[in-house]
Structure 1
Amino acid sequence: MAVTLAEVAARAGVSPATVSRVLNGGYPVAGGTRTRVERAVEELGYIANGPARALAAATSDLVGVLVHDVADSFFGILAGSLQSALAPTGPGGARRLAVVCNTEGDPAAELAYLALLEGQRAGGVVLTGGAAEDPGHTTALAARVARIAASGAPVVLCGRPPLPLPAGAPSGLLVATVAFDDHGGAFRLAEHLLALGHRRIASVAGPPGLSTTRERLAGHRAALLRHDPRLPEACADLTVHAAFTRSAGYDATRELLRRGAPFTAVAAANDTVATGVAAALREAGLRIPEDVSVAGFDDLPFCADTAPALTTVRVPLREAGALAALLVTGRRPLPPGGITTLPTELMVRASTGPAPAGRNGP
């Protein structure tokens, strides 16, 4: 049986009118009261009546775009492509206003921005970047996304895995996923390094607890395992988790060098991290790729201009942004299951070369 507004009000210790004000937004509600209501909604799995909410919500031309870091080229390219694709395609076409929300990768900020967008009756929402893999956050996010979609506003998850919607959510919700083949891309990159003779391959992985980090690291390890069952264990001490920044790549590489375990290649979490890796290696007097090969991920525009040019995995960011725009505006129907996986591509450049003799493991 569906949970009622009155049951949410009883759980939160407020009136049904207060619950309605919190859910509809646009009305002042004390922060503590709003928190109690939102917690009760999530705990009970309350889903507002879709047709009724559609009359009062999802009527604006505003599209919310949530990014981790607006200054990061990865998100800038995605958001820019998406905004360009929101432009009218013909005479009389509706123009959409893209509002970019910078979450700084904070799950609480992600939920807060979604609540604000719901309150502003956004006509659609696009969530970009890796998802925090915390069960509590996943449950809260699923409930919020289901409420927004039930109002008639499409939601697109771009660059993250599908979201399990709560039990009892209405069928046919407009929730789409545009995923990247991060696992396959990392697998092919590791295979490239292995083919060059590298066996001691360090990995400067992304932050733990993030879907992107998990997928890329899993693909990397799968390639090692396929080549030699001993390699994942042999390279276990060569994995360091770091933020997706140049300084984090620099610090992580200094830590790898401090540990003293030999390595002949570094697979970085992304291209920005790879620039920090390269800086630390050069500072230590190591040549790229003669002493240590370096590879990134994403294929951001600067990769072809680094010295040497960076081997990386191309993620189709512009294509993903354009597709997300089509889905969030209803100009492209949802695919079967609501999921589209875009392929990644290995881009071999001068930063990777044959492993130096005498410095490898098994």
Structure 2
Amino acid sequence: MAVTLADVAARAGVSAATVSRVLSGNYPVAGATRTRVMRAVEELEYVVNGPASSLAAASSDLVGILVNDIADPFFGIIAGAVQSELNGPDGAQGSHKLAVVCNTGGSPEQELTYLTLLQRQRAAAIVLTGGAVEDAEHSAALSARLQRLAAGGTRIVLCGRPPLGPALPGQRGPQGHGELPVLTVAFDNRGGARRLTEHLLALGHRAIGYVAGPAERTTTRHRLEGHRSALLEHRGGPVREAEPLTVHGGGYDRSSGYDGALELLRREPRLTAVLAANDTVALGVCAALRDQGLRIPEDVSVAGFDDLPFSADAAPALTTVRLPLHEAGARAGKLALGRQGPPPGGVATVRADLMVRDSTARPRTD
């Protein structure tokens, strides 16, 4: 059932007229009252109706692109590729869309807030990029919000994150099916990490450290699972849940790689190889190793993930896993605009390919 103005008034403890004044912005309202009303609007996910909102109909020209960090090349490439699809086929007149890039900073709360704002603007489509936060409460809130958006005619596409689970009780997808009407362009993070670990094992490395990303992210878990599955198969025995040579960084950034590498060296001075959560983290790992007087790859091999533009030009060139970020973003853009048919089951998984370069070599034998 749609949330009404009266529902917001009841939640905020004010009159419906006061809520109307706050939302219109044309009348003076006490700051504390305005705060209570806007908090109620957020909590109830109230969407303004009426003549003013008709300017932002469900068929509007607005497309929202949610990213964790627009300064990260991973997200910048995907967002740029999505936006490149918004000009329409061959730049056809009247087919352009307006892209709004929403930088969440990795905050689950900010992600939900942006979705509410885009719902109020009746966005034609929304593309959510990057790994999801593994939190049951947030997942439920996210699914509910996406369900309401889809019910209002907004196309939803996930790019670089796993598919959502089944719809919540009481929510139905298209034709009454219990799945959210959300399309997904996913990356094979498990397979990519597995191939990277197998590469190091084949070179003869055994003391392999891993600087993982934030523990609560799906991307981190999937890449770590791929790494551990390769170790499990090679060792022929169980890999402990807390892998002794795994360090979780605070983020997918250079400083996390630097600090993580120092922690790995403290735990295992005989370390011969380090896997990094992504290429940016790998740069931090390389810097820390050099500051400790170690050579790459003569003393310690280093590998990244994503194959960001700088990876081939690093010194030495970085062994990594290539994700076709631009192609994935472009496909997500086409799906969001309905210019490409949905993949089987609503999910397209993009292969991750191993790129062997100069930063990995056989371990020293002396």
Structure 1 pair 267–54 and aligned structure 2 pair: CA distance change class (3 A): farther
Deviation at 1:263, TM superposition (A): 1.4
Structure 1 pair 255–27 and aligned structure 2 pair: CA distance change class (3 A): farther
Q: Which shifted more, 334-343 or 323-332?
A: 334-343
Question: In structure 2, what is the equivalent of residue 300 of structure 1?
Answer: 308
Structure 1 pair 255–209 and aligned structure 2 pair: CA distance change class (3 A): same
Structure 1 portions without partners, runs of 5+: 48-52
Is 2:212 aligned against 1:205?
yes
2:125 and 2:171 map into 1 onto residues whose CA distance is 18
Aligned residue for 1:101, secondary structure, equals strand
Is 2:229 aligned against 1:228?
no
Is 2:152 aligned against 1:144?
no
The letter of the residue matching 2:345 is G
Aligned residue for 1:232, secondary structure, equals coil
Structure 1 pair 54–187 and aligned structure 2 pair: CA distance change class (3 A): farther
Per-residue CA distance 1:130-183 (angstroms, 9 max, x = gap) = 100111111111111111111101011111111233223232264211100000
Is 2:341 aligned against 1:333?
yes
The letter of the residue matching 2:224 is L
Question: In structure 2, what is the equivalent of residue 171 of structure 1?
Answer: 173
2:300 and 2:156 map into 1 onto residues whose CA distance is 43
Q: Give 1:350's match in structure 2, choosing from 337, 341, 358.
A: 358
Structure 2 portions without partners, runs of 5+: 26-32, 48-52, 175-179
**Cα contact 1:63–1:96 (8 A) shared by 2:** yes
The letter of the residue matching 1:142 is S
Q: Which shifted more, 248-257 or 290-299?
A: 248-257
1:233 and 1:356 map into 2 onto residues whose CA distance is 27
Question: In structure 1, what is the equivalent of residue 99 of structure 2?
Answer: 98
Question: In structure 1, what is the equivalent of residue 194 of structure 2?
Answer: 187
Deviation at 1:31, TM superposition (A): 4.0
Aligned residue for 2:87, secondary structure, equals coil
Aligned residue for 2:239, secondary structure, equals helix
Per-residue CA distance 1:178-228 (angstroms, 9 max, x = gap) = 100000000000000000001111000000110000000000000000111
The letter of the residue matching 2:144 is A
1:267 and 1:293 map into 2 onto residues whose CA distance is 9
Question: In structure 1, what is the equivalent of residue 74 of structure 2?
Answer: 74
1:26 and 1:178 map into 2 onto residues whose CA distance is 37
Cα RMSD for the two superposed structures:
3.1
Structure 1 pair 218–60 and aligned structure 2 pair: CA distance change class (3 A): same
**Cα contact 1:146–1:166 (8 A) shared by 2:** no
2:192 and 2:133 map into 1 onto residues whose CA distance is 21
Deviation at 1:338, TM superposition (A): 1.2
Structure 1 pair 38–234 and aligned structure 2 pair: CA distance change class (3 A): closer
Q: Which shifted more, 118-127 or 180-189?
A: 118-127
2:298 and 2:338 map into 1 onto residues whose CA distance is 51
Seq. identity, %: 55
**Cα contact 2:316–2:359 (8 A) shared by 1:** yes
Question: In structure 2, what is the equivalent of residue 269 of structure 1?
Answer: 277
Question: In structure 2, what is the equivalent of residue 62 of structure 1?
Answer: 62
The letter of the residue matching 2:211 is V
Q: Which shifted more, 186-195 or 108-117?
A: 108-117
Deviation at 1:314, TM superposition (A): 0.3
TM-score, scaled to structure 1: 0.86
TM-score, scaled to structure 2: 0.86
Question: In structure 2, what is the equivalent of residue 250 of structure 1?
Answer: 258
Aligned residue for 2:244, secondary structure, equals helix
**Cα contact 1:57–1:151 (8 A) shared by 2:** no
**Cα contact 1:250–1:277 (8 A) shared by 2:** yes
Count of residue pairs brought into register by the alignment:
347
Is 2:314 aligned against 1:318?
no
Structure 1 pair 14–319 and aligned structure 2 pair: CA distance change class (3 A): farther
Q: Give 1:32's match in structure 2, choosing from 25, 33, 36.
A: 36
Question: In structure 2, what is the equivalent of residue 50 of structure 1?
Answer: none
Per-residue CA distance 1:218-266 (angstroms, 9 max, x = gap) = 0000000011135834992211111100111111111222334431100
**Cα contact 1:11–1:40 (8 A) shared by 2:** no
The letter of the residue matching 1:185 is G
**Cα contact 1:199–1:231 (8 A) shared by 2:** no
**Cα contact 1:65–1:128 (8 A) shared by 2:** yes
Per-residue CA distance 1:285-309 (angstroms, 9 max, x = gap) = 1111111100000000111111110
Deviation at 1:26, TM superposition (A): 6.8
Deviation at 1:16, TM superposition (A): 11
Deviation at 1:337, TM superposition (A): 2.1
Aligned residue for 2:192, secondary structure, equals helix
Aligned residue for 1:86, secondary structure, equals helix
**Cα contact 1:203–1:239 (8 A) shared by 2:** yes
Deviation at 1:13, TM superposition (A): 7.0
The letter of the residue matching 1:282 is R
2:270 and 2:242 map into 1 onto residues whose CA distance is 10
The letter of the residue matching 1:221 is R
1:109 and 1:229 map into 2 onto residues whose CA distance is 44
Deviation at 1:33, TM superposition (A): 3.7
